[in-house]
Structure 1
Amino acid sequence: MAAATSIPPDPTPPPRFPTHRTVADLPQHVHVLCEVLSTTPPHEMEARLTATGVQPEPETVQQVLKLSYNSPSAAAKFFRWAGMSRQHTGYSWNLMVDLLGKNCLFEPMWDAIRSMKQEGLLSLTTFVSVFENYAVARRFDEAFMTFDVMERYGIQPDIIAVNSLLSAICREENQTVKALEFFEKIKASIAPDADTFAILLEGWEKEGNTAKAKTTFGEMVIRVGWSSQDMFAYDAFLNTLVRGSQADEAFKFLQVMKGKNCLPGLRFFSNALDTFLKQNDPAHASAMWDIMVDSGLVPNLQMYNSMINLLTRNNFIDNAFQLLDSMVFYGAFPDSLTYNMVFECLIKNKKIPEVGKFFTEMVKNEWPPSCENFSAGIKILFDGDDPEMAIEMWKYMVKNNISPRDDSANAVLLGLCNMGRLSDLRRFAEKMIDERIIIYESTMTKAKNAFYKEGRSARELYDHILRKWKSSYT
């Protein structure tokens, strides 16, 4: 390989190749070659490689090159040595070109490309690698130059090449404007297709540039028309609008798309719901949900949970219940998160009868409340004069060994204390102490006040509980 002689030595000793643990699944002879490359001085490399007796079969060469990206000079010496005994495949050459490009050794990379041309092994894949490595290095003018000279190397610069270069640039942070610069220059000679616009629109989406997205989308519609096959482009465009707080604009375009039978897929609707959730915008989320369902798309569990989260967060409990009741008909079965979001909303809004009923439904469907919701539910039921359901919740926790339950236990004791049910308070407290449940000092203080109000005999009962409580910590 002519390129090998022009590669400068690595400025620092190359990192060692993967140890036996990381290459254990590779053939032994590949491991042997990697060890030679990682431990041999440059002037001894060729002799040491020959001494291994390993034949550089194409697959062997490819495996070694894939492990050599951090040591380009050693890889180049190995590549030249392997090429002395047999001709390299196009795939091996492409690996070498990519390896050199990723290490910003662009002059040797072009030496390799010229060698490939002489051997008739160049392909579009070679140039795609060059595009990507120039883009990563932010050397966009050289990427454009590469496109311009493709034809001299026998590769036709078609729309696939255009899209490959655009994609490489758009993957870089905040560089879609550079991709647009190339697009504007080339579109007169090579007609863009739907993929071209999808790449640009995804770039604007990533950068949140709504103005450029609208312009690009408008040109797309004029040049390639409407097609249900162009879903990724539509998704990217609408996502840009929604994330850019232009939901009303997105709805206008959605109506047009609906009329063209080109509504976006679940990817867009799922992303839009996540965005509305972050923006705490239940109105637009509900409108988007209706369009989605009316168009025949079936939401998944994650989307239901996002919507129910948004509704319960804003106390639209009736709407949340409607979704909960309908979701099973669409094959999305509620999970623990679904039930707990609704349950928490009922608690927050002090819907006392509904809290008890919904708890019964939760345990019936084998999705009990979270420990936090058990505690909050018990407290609100005591405050709302439904102590029996509160105690029912506590008994469920004990029976099913749900923990931690310290907060719930203290909620039970405080509830009984506030209601003046001292005999029940004593019974529950003693049992909780026996079960090593932590009763808070503040709870004991309130219990003391309740017992001491009832006279001497009640004080003695409290003192008995207190002694038992103290002994549980010794």
Structure 2
Amino acid sequence: MAAAQKSSPLAPIPPSSFPTHHTAADLPPTARILCEIVASTPVHEVEARLASTQVQPEPEIIQQVLKLSYNYPSAAAKLFRWAGLNRTHTGYSWNLMVDLLGKNKLFEPMWDAIRSMKQEGVLSLTTFVSVFENYCSAGRFDEAVMTFDVMERYGIQPDVIAVNSLLSAMCREDKQTMKALEFFERIKANIPPDADSFAILLEGWEKEGNVAEAKHTFGEMVIRVGWSQQYMFAYDAFLNTLVCGSHGDEAIKFLQVMKGKNCMPGLRFFSNALDVFVKQNDSAHAIMLWDIMIGSGLVPTLMMYNDMIGLLTSNNDVDNAFRLLDDMVFHGAFPDSLTYNMIFECLIKNKKVCEVGKFFIEMVKNEWPPTPENFSAAIKLLFGGDDPEMAIEMWKYMVKENISPRDESANEVLLGFCNMGRLTDLRRFAEKMIDERIIIYESTMTKVKNASYKEGRTAREIYDQISRKWKSSYL
């Protein structure tokens, strides 16, 4: 082979780029010997070292060694030439050699090998797929297309599989889907595309976020190959492009069309789309997406329910949040602490005093109490919203269940009593809190003092009693 007679003008690529025999498990001893020679011997000495081993270059052994010699292209070529003097190479070995040279950007020796393969009658489409991939990964797209154009001269009939292989190689590279489309437009009259052709392009547009081209490609796909559940990868790519491109209206519209064609995507798409709508804070389209998903018989996970409820509550849509909460158990997704606390926090934020108390009772009943932060916020709201008794019930629940930290909630209880002028209750609760080593803030004591000194001597005496006990607790 001509490649074996040339030394590479390029330095070997970094050893970490490809697997080597150092990391290969269960490698036969003879293969390991040959790998060591390829990896450690100066190129001009490789053939002599190989000959001195008296190892028989069986095809399976040579294939194993080539797979682990991508970091040493010149030495691997010497090994290939040496083995070919004693045994006829398999088509697989030839393809490995072509790929090895291409991966190392040794394209002239690669073509020498291809011409030799043609003479040996072992060329196949696999060979050219490797060439497509290596040219594209090197950024040499015109040469990849040229390779497709000359396939027939080498006895390989270009077909839709070859077309798709080249499209895929192009679209894997960054921002090259337009170049892939140019090739597609040129070739489609002679080689009709199939669903995979369109799926490859749609995945490329998805990666690049090109909504306009994705819509054009999808429209042509429907005209040429129709609708089928087998084309779901293409549909997912198209819908993802619309969703990620903030074209929620069109995504919903196409989902409704697809439902009518019995071509609905699976739960994975809906989960990914929901994630995007959450990041976009787009609750309107998220609700429409959710209803289509449920209407299609898909069963959301607890995580999806929590993502959706989190989006709704962050947009103060508590009615839809409650609707989802009520539906959860019917779909086998049981609410957890996060579910309840997101809704509870939304009720507090929107000052739904009556609903806060009722929902607290439901949370406790289902053994998912509020977080310490939500307890504190709820107690503050209830004292200010004329429902102090429910606030006190919450505080007593915290004490009974030993929920901590509860310093913030304790201070809100004291401030609530203070604002209502219930100084006797304030003293009773404060003394118990001090006994329990709960931290009462200096700012709270200042507010209590100011309120007490405005109320007269009895109130001042109550404050002084609390203050003395409070100060002694720090001694």
Structure 1 or 2, whichever has the larger Rg, is: 2
Query: 2:408 maps to what in 1?
Result: 410
Asked whether the 8 Å contact 2:449–2:463 carries over to 1, the reply is: no
Q: In 1, Cα distance between the equivalents of 2:117 and 2:302?
A: 52
Change (3 A) 1:432 1:22: farther
| Aligned residues with identical type, % of pairs | 67
Could you say which residue in structure 2 is the equivalent of 1:423? 428
Residue 223 of structure 2 aligns with which residue?
222
**Alignment match, 2:239:** 238
Shift of 1:145: 1.1
Alignment of 1:339-378 (within 5 A): 339-362=340-363, 365=366, 367-370=368-371, 372-378=373-379
Contact kept? 2:13, 2:71, Cα under 8 Å:
no
CA contact (8 A) 1:131 1:164 kept: yes
Superposed, which structure 2 residues align to 1:137-156 within 5 Å? 137-156=138-157
Q: Give the drift of 1:188.
A: 0.8
Paired positions, count: 460
Relative to 1, partners in 2 of residues 1:466 and 1:66: Cα closer, same or farther, differing over 3 Å?
farther
In the alignment, the residues of structure 1 paired with residue 34 and residue 363 of structure 2 have an alpha-carbon distance, to the nearest angstrom, of 62
Gaps of 5+ in 1: none
Residues 416-451 of structure 1 deviation map (CA, whole Å, 9 limit, x = unaligned): 244142232232233235xxxx76654565567678
Deviation at 1:363, TM superposition (A): 5.2
Q: Distance in 1 between matches of 2:19 and 2:165?
A: 35
Counterpart of 1:466 in structure 2 is 471
> Distance between the aligned counterparts of 2:16 and 2:276, measured in 1?
45
Greater shift in the superposed pair: 332-341 or 46-55: 46-55
Amino acid at match of 2:76: A
Q: Which residue of 2 aligns with 1:162?
A: 163
1:105–1:429: structure 2 CA closer, same or farther, 3 Å change rule? farther
Correspondence list, 1:22-61, <5 A: 23=23, 25-27=25-27, 29=29, 32-49=33-50, 56-61=57-62
Cα distance change on mapping 1:426 and 1:6 into 2, 3 Å = farther
Q: Secondary structure at the match of 2:229?
A: coil
Find the counterpart in structure 2 of residue 309 from structure 1.
310
Deviation sequence 1:55-111 (CA, Å, 0-9, x none): 555454444434333332333334334444434433333233222222211112222
Distance 2:86 2:430 in 1: 90
**1:230-255 C-alpha deviation (Å, 9 max, x unpaired):** 22222222332333333333344334
Q: What SS does the corresponding residue of 1:315 show, helix, strand or coil?
A: coil
Structure 1 pair 14/296, CA: closer, same or farther in 2 (3 Å)?
closer
Q: Residues of 1 paired with 2:18 and 2:140: CA distance?
A: 31
- Following the alignment from structure 2 to structure 1, what is the Cα–Cα distance between the partners of residues 442 and 18? 58
Give me the whole-angstrom Cα distance separating, in 1, the residues matched to 2:16 and 2:229. 51
| 1:148-198 residue CA offsets vs partner (Å, 9 max, x unmatched) | 122222322111111111111112222111111111111111111111112
Q: Where do residues 89-108 of structure 1 align in structure 2 (5 Å cutoff)?
A: 89-108=90-109
TM-score (norm 2): 0.84
For residue 3 of structure 1, what is the aligned residue in structure 2?
3
Aligned CA distance change for structure 1 residues 314 and 94 (closer, same or farther; 3 Å): same
**3-state DSSP class of the match of 1:68?**
coil
CA contact (8 A) 1:7 1:73 kept: yes
Render the CA deviation track for 1:296-355: whole Å, top value 9, x for unaligned: 333333332332222111111111111111122223333443333223222322334443
Distance 1:20 1:83, change over 3 A: closer
- Which structure 2 segments of 5+ residues have no match? 419-425
Name which of structure 1's ranges 178-187 and 355-364 shifts more when overlaid on structure 2: 355-364
Please give the alpha-carbon distance, in whole angstroms, between the structure 1 residues aligned to 2:22 and 2:341: 44
Give the equivalent residue in structure 2 for 1:186.
187
Is 175-184 or 340-349 further displaced after alignment? 340-349
Worse overlay, 195-204 or 108-117: 108-117
Indicate how the Cα distance of structure 1 residues 191 and 443 shifts in structure 2: closer, same or farther if over 3 A, else same. same
Name the counterpart of 1:321.
Answer: 322
3-state SS, counterpart of residue 255 of structure 2? helix
Q: CA RMSD in A?
A: 3.4
* CA distance in structure 2 between the aligned counterparts of 1:455 and 1:430, rounded to whole angstroms: 21
**TM-score under structure 1 normalisation?**
0.84
Q: Is the 8 A contact 2:206 2:237 kept in 1?
A: yes
CA distance in 2, matches of 1:46, 1:125: 29
Specify the code of the residue in structure 1 equivalent to 2:414: L
Give the secondary-structure state (helix, strand or coil) at the position aligned to 2:8. coil
